[in-house]
Structure 1
């Protein structure tokens, strides 16, 4: 049987509705695995099923519906956050099966500290969860990978101490205090470290993007970018490795523009919203308020053409979320691409997805 894949990509600055779109695809393909191929614990992808709600960060957005998760080498993980979310997801009867590529990057307490205290990080924009610091540190000799979490304990501790020294932590007692919850989480989790051969057992893969194309580290407006490649590039490379040729794209945007964090944004203005009580992107001390604006069709065209440089797809679909929140008109006739299907989301529940045309 020919293997198939769906790739979910955000066309904006993140928060487009990748979680609800992934859940929709999971409901249509219940024997699939959901693959995260960029970003890490900074994701906040909301899924609502009946009376259950979960914000997916360290698990992919098929977990609440019962699908397993896989984090690729392009992702980061933080054992403390992962354990907390695992416990929360378990109480909701979600699937806590998580397989991680051996070369996924590991965030440490010292990376989180760096993200939250470094003035340049704060100026450029951070969610305060250690992603940027982790990726920057990984360019140095002080690396830490998922495979190291199952290495001999003495070896792991030596690597962690090296990372502490890298950030200027010198007092042994302070280092031990910072590491205690981290090591407890490492010990509690039954790590499933698997390379891409694990994915070969599935006939269908759902690739869930992180952030949005306009925050891509190579294509966003520097310095207000994410330390990740958020186009389809990573997912497409994995599809090629697994010899998957039947690839369907799901490009996602809200009915209006958003940006949670500092940086350039076109068409920014106040928009009167309704039915947005379940909004995940609320005020926090690092990203502040969620910023709103009207959709910039020229930016959507830019993002679509940019992503087409990375992936060859069998079908291309558009998903417009939050259609119940605003009456803003979307000039779909001005998009420079012909979609196979256009879907609309009229509530926080994927069961309310509708095919527009």
Structure 2
């Protein structure tokens, strides 16, 4: 993977939390990577990286290769950039021995700006849903995207941070519109926000979209996706989805704009167990599994972190939605090493396969959601003897990397071939 200067795109083929961060860190530890490119989502991402010496950081906006000296981060225009959260993340990175994270960061000026007003509106809407909450992270990323779609010419963007007068106008209009819709927001006055945003513009390199083409030609880049394909805004199980395209599409667009269409390897990441943080379908959920995730505790917005057996039906759907991958990274093999009774679900009691529909048909996706909430898993007879072989057979795609611990040293790269074509 990534040999000969080839770029790599890393995407989660589940509901998120499969281990994209640790895979990206391993790529940056074992290859000369120039830049990690973030191509969707925003501050709600939570990509955990643990080093051999015990240092740990949950990467949200910085690329998960930032522990590796010299590896840069580029936030593309498809990312919602939250300068306040970014500053807090940079502070923690400095505490764990990375004082130059901001020096290695570039941000596309066209990216939408995440603000306290988006965050407050997001939380107000989620609270109003009561028992029908969608499991939002409560950080306002979807709110920023929605506002950008409704008011594309007035939505605050990163480049506006260099123009305090324009930024004040746009933040005021944003605050006033959301207040008129939702009532008073739990957010500071615009005058209190402006200094932080202008300080961000003074500290960080804000670039235009042509910058990325140079980075792609300067060395190998790793495109780091956020969340998971099963949460995709168009193909996920509505309404328990994200306001973000979680497939390879944004990364492929960025590559094509640089004249490098198709010049990247596509790596899908999966756990040996299928997990979900918050409400929504998880057909294979098994509350009896003796599992916990120290980096994904229950929180007031998403709720609890849920575990299920490996859902090959859902992951085959994710592969079809994403347009296939060149290989799989299979994480959490240490769970199988513990001898747990972990199974693979090859079909449900009511259907064998999920078929992707046209993007944007949310009524169709809501109907799929209802069907999944009523479905029951049908499992293979027993735990796999060889997990990489079993997953390769179930999905028709080779496992090329296995992870047996949170650190880069716990990864094993495989050379595998298939007699059947890749998905």
TM-score by length of 2: 0.76
Offset, 1:299: 1.4
Q: How does 1:275-354 map to 2 (within 5 A)?
A: 279-308=294-323, 316-326=326-336, 327=340, 328=342, 329=384, 330=387, 331-339=390-398, 341-354=399-412
Paired residue for 2:55, among 52, 56, 71?
Answer: 52
Q: Does 1:147 align with 2:159?
A: yes
Offset, 1:181: 5.2
CA deviation profile, 1:225-271 (whole Å, cap 9, x unmatched) = 00000000110111112222431121101110100011111111125
CA contact (8 A) 1:271 1:293 kept: no
Distance in 1 of aligned mates of 2:180 and 2:82: 19
CA deviation profile, 1:87-119 (whole Å, cap 9, x unmatched) = 111222323322111111111111110111112
CA contact (8 A) 2:120 2:187 kept: no
Paired residue for 1:100, among 99, 107, 111?
Answer: 107
Distance in 2 of aligned mates of 1:68 and 1:208: 12
Paired residue for 1:39, among 21, 41, 46?
Answer: 41
Higher relative contact order (CA 8 A, sep 6+): 1
User: Who is 1:263 aligned against?
Assistant: 280
User: Who is 1:230 aligned against?
Assistant: 246
Alpha-carbon RMSD: 2.4
User: Who is 2:136 aligned against?
Assistant: 126
Q: Give 3-state SS (helix, strand or coil) of 1:106's partner.
A: coil
User: Who is 1:21 aligned against?
Assistant: 23
Runs of 4 or more, structure 1, over 4 Å off, are: 173-176
CA contact (8 A) 1:83 1:185 kept: no
CA contact (8 A) 2:11 2:229 kept: yes
Distance 1:267 1:108, change over 3 A: same
Offset, 1:336: 4.0
Offset, 1:63: 1.2
User: Who is 1:83 aligned against?
Assistant: 87
CA contact (8 A) 2:77 2:209 kept: no
Q: Give 3-state SS (helix, strand or coil) of 1:126's partner.
A: coil
Q: Which runs of 5+ in 2 are unaligned?
A: 343-383, 417-423
CA contact (8 A) 1:36 1:75 kept: yes
Q: Which runs of 5+ in 1 are unaligned?
A: none
